[in-house]
Amino acid sequence: MPKNKSHSGAGKRFRVTGSGKILREKAGKRHNLEKKPSKVTRRMTGTVEVAKADVPRAKKMLGL
């Protein structure tokens, strides 16, 4: 069987923790920030865990 290549875009978007959880950045903090309330922009900062349903696909893309 040939090896599967890891998805190069997924490698830039996801990070794997020491315990094996997959983290991602929150979306929506790139542009049009003047229109968005400060409360919303603060909520969009930081990293969160990938949803449980998306973990198998993310792992496959990362080659885990």
**How many other CB atoms sit within 10 Å of the CB of residue 16?**
13
Give phi and psi for 27, each to the nearest 5.
-90, 160
Say what percent of the chain tops pLDDT 70: 100
Q: Is the pTM of this model over 0.85?
A: no
pLDDT confidence of residue 23 = 97
* Domain range 10-62, its CATH number among 3.30.420.130, 2.60.40.10, 4.10.410.60, 2.60.40.1120: 4.10.410.60
Say what percent of the chain tops pLDDT 90: 89
Position 49 pLDDT exceeds 90: yes
